[in-house]
């Protein structure tokens, strides 16, 4: 566990203006301590084209947030600490911290995610509950998002063996309200986690971020019922990007809730009817202990006059647009060293000119 001062500064860093998870990890890779990273923020933002220094969270603000976590009964777990989920730590945009209600020991248990339609059919609900119970009996923590329908069924099926909900709001906020009883059971018998400050209300932009945590914690993601526009397909795509196995329960041809899962199967997801299908596929895969992702950044800060050139910055800015682009594609397109591209993207984000998206995608910020 980090010292209280380091934890406080890590909280300050992730709550500072324009510091997202990827940039947080790159800054920690460069500067080793959060205090040193915080000191470097104004200069890095200036290189990115910002005249004013970004707003940095104060010590008092971080202390107040820590007090709100304690008041909610939550414990903070920071990336790099022993209680942090090992598979999630290997994801490039892993949350720098998790606020946890319930059993901390569940975070390091081997996990599978089960997600699906909010407007689930009765058969879909019962099937998800049964899958969760069977997979739980075989030693897996079941992770989902506490939404209506399939998520709720998966949590209920695994309450006896271990269930964890990832929220797209503060850990102390119950959403949806109809799952209030389930939330209470998860706090008592499982775990509820969030990367957001206590009291944060749910919003549409937070759910893709939540989904990357669900898939990131798991060895694989099982999708039970999903339309072609379902958020569960976002979770499946993130899982594939993270190197996780994707499983899908086939659906009826005339039911819109089956079209998303059938499409996943056509694209290579494992056709899943029972827990045995999941366990058989996992048994054929090698799962070593994951190592934390290594951000593509230099190990030391660039001196102000010896960093990337103005031409390099101009080339990257001209290659970026409002449509998200994979950073690997950006590197190949402009033929610059990966370290230089990483540095420039970091500077642009701190300047408020770059937006990062799940799946290692970047775009020009709408406000730039």
Q: How far apart are CA 41 and CA 261, in angstroms?
A: 44
Q: How far apart are CA 65 and CA 60, in angstroms?
A: 9
The reply to whether 240 and 131 lie within a common domain is yes
**Whole-Å CA distances, 290 to 166, 212, 246, 286, 365:** 21, 16, 18, 11, 32
Q: Is residue 288 part of a domain?
A: no
Helix axes 327-334, 338-350, angle to 10 degrees: 120
Q: Is 204 left (phi over 0), alpha (psi -120 to 50) or beta?
A: alpha
Examine the fold and report which residue of 283, 303, 322 is the final residue of a domain before the chain moves on.
Answer: 283
The range of the structural domain enclosing residue 158 comes to 110-283
The reply to whether 225 and 255 lie within a common domain is yes
The reply to whether 310 and 273 lie within a common domain is no
* Angle (nearest 5°) at CA 315 between 312 and 316: 90
Domains of the chain: total: 2
Closest CA to 65 of 166, 165, 168, 170: 170
Closest CA to 155 of 229, 209, 257, 224: 224
The reply to whether 269 and 200 lie within a common domain is yes
More confident residue, 21 or 335: 21
Examine the fold and report which residue of 223, 254, 283 is the final residue of a domain before the chain moves on.
Answer: 283
CATH value at residue 55: 1.10.10.10
Residue range 135-190, pLDDT digits in tens: 999 999 999 999 999 999 999 999 999 999 999 999 999 999 999 999 999 999 99
The reply to whether 135 and 198 lie within a common domain is yes
Decide: 89 and 292 in contact? Cβ < 8 Å. yes
**Percent of the residues in the chain that have a pLDDT greater than 90, as a whole number:** 80
Helix axes 310-319, 327-334, angle to 10 degrees: 120
- Residue 367's pLDDT band (cuts 50, 70, 90): low
Question: Averaged over 332-342, what is the pLDDT?
Answer: 86
* pLDDT at site 368: 57
The reply to whether 200 and 334 lie within a common domain is no
The number of beta carbons lying within 10 Å of the beta carbon of residue 40 is 14
* pLDDT at site 286: 53
Q: Take residue 45 and report the two structure tokens written for it.
A: 């933002």
Mean pLDDT of the chain, nearest integer: 92
Residue range 201-242, pLDDT digits in tens: 999 989 999 999 999 999 999 999 999 999 999 999 999 999
CATH value at residue 242: 3.40.50.450
Lowest-confidence pick of 262-276, 284-298, 335-349: 284-298
The reply to whether 178 and 276 lie within a common domain is yes
The reply to whether 187 and 223 lie within a common domain is yes
Q: Is residue 134 part of a domain?
A: yes
Q: Is residue 100 part of a domain?
A: no
Q: Is residue 146 part of a domain?
A: yes
* pTM exceeds 0.75, yes or no: yes
Residue range 41-61, pLDDT digits in tens: 999 999 999 989 899 999 999
């Amino acid at each position: 566990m980090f010292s209280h001062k380091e934890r406080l500064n890590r909280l300050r860093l992730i709550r500072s203006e324009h510091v997202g998870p990827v940039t947080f990890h790159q800054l920690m890779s460069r500067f080793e301590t959060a205090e040193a990273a915080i000191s470097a923020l104004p200069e890095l933002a200036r290189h990115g084209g910002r005249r004013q220094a970004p707003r940095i969270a104060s010590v008092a603000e971080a202390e107040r947030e820590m007090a709100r976590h304690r008041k909610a009964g939550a414990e903070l777990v920071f990336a790099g600490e022993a209680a942090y989920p090992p598979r999630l730590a290997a994801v490039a945009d892993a949350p720098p911290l998790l606020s946890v209600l319930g059993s901390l020991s569940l975070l390091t248990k081997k996990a599978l995610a089960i997600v699906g339609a909010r407007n689930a059919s009765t058969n879909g609900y019962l099937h998800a509950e049964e899958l969760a119970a069977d997979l739980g009996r075989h030693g897996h923590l079941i992770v989902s998002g506490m939404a209506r329908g399939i998520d709720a069924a998966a949590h209920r099926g695994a309450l006896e063996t271990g269930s964890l909900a990832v929220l797209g709001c503060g850990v102390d906020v119950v959403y949806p309200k109809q799952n209030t009883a389930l939330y209470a059971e998860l706090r008592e018998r499982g775990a509820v986690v969030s990367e957001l400050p206590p009291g944060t209300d749910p919003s549409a932009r937070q759910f893709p971020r939540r989904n990357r945590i669900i898939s990131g914690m798991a060895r694989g993601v099982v999708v039970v019922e999903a339309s072609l526009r379902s958020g569960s397909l976002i979770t499946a795509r993130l899982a594939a990007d993270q190197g996780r196995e994707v499983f899908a329960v086939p659906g009826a041809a005339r039911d819109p809730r089956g079209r998303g899962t059938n499409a996943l199967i056509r694209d290579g997801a494992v056709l899943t009817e029972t827990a045995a299908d999941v366990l058989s596929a996992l048994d054929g895969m090698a799962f070593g202990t994951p190592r934390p992702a290594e951000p593509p950044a230099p190990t030391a800060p660039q001196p102000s006059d010896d960093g990337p050139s103005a031409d390099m910055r101009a080339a990257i800015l001209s290659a970026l647009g409002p449509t998200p682009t994979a950073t690997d594609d950006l590197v190949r397109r402009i033929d610059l060293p990966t370290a230089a591209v990483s540095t420039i993207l970091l500077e642009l984000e701190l300047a408020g000119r770059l937006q990062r998206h799940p799946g290692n995608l970047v775009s020009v910020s709408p406000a730039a």
